[in-house]
Amino acid sequence: MGMKKFVESVKELLDIDDVKKKNKKRAIRNLLKKLIIRKEDIRLKLENKKISKKEKKFLLEELDIIDVHIEKGEKIIKKLNS
């Protein structure tokens, strides 16, 4: 997955419209920070014992998607650093 495609998919996942594309590494790092924050929010919601099974399943799926995006973003940053 290329950098542009990664940025577009993460923007769609996080519902973000404004991503500054001046510096590729900085833009990806900012997206990774937002993904990590979103991941922590989902984990906190999952710790709540009052959520329904349907909502829990949805949150787990979203957590898996976020994990994949974080891995892809880290690979892109490593590629840009080398």
Q: For residue range 43-76, what is the model confidence (pLDDT) as tens digits?
A: 999 998 788 989 999 999 999 999 999 999 899 8
Q: For residue range 24-47, what is the model confidence (pLDDT) as tens digits?
A: 788 888 889 999 999 999 999 999
Return all residues near 63 (Cβ < 8 A) that are at least 6 apart: 39, 42, 43, 46
Q: Which domain holds residue 40?
A: 3-81
Return all residues near 16 (Cβ < 8 A) that are at least 6 apart: 10, 34
Q: What number is the average pLDDT over the span 3-7?
A: 76
Q: Indicate the number of domains in the chain.
A: 1
pTM of structure: 0.77
